[in-house]
Amino acid sequence: MAGDAPQPPILIRVLRTVLRALLIAFAVGFGIGTWLRCTAERATPRSLPYLGERTSEVGSDRPA
């Protein structure tokens, strides 16, 4: 059986498995977070004014 390569130590295999699982979890979480953010941005009404477009009629104690 010349084709059988020796397996790496158990610690190396465990670390590889954990890192692979973390990478997959990060990718899935990033994808879900991006999808949720895009969905929330599409759901917000576009008629809301920006904070910089406030008029002087708005009662505020802060200087403009």
pLDDT value of residue 32 = 96
pLDDT value of residue 43 = 83
Q: Is 13 helix (H, G, I), strand (E, B) or coil?
A: helix
pLDDT value of residue 14 = 96
pLDDT value of residue 62 = 63
5: left (phi over 0), alpha (psi -120 to 50) or beta: beta
Q: The tokens of 17 are what?
A: 């498995």
* Cα 4 to Cα 2: distance, rounded to the nearest angstrom: 6
Answering whether pTM is above 0.85, one says no
List average pLDDT for each run of 10 residues in the chain, which is 64 residues long.
78 97 98 93 71 58 61
pLDDT value of residue 44 = 72
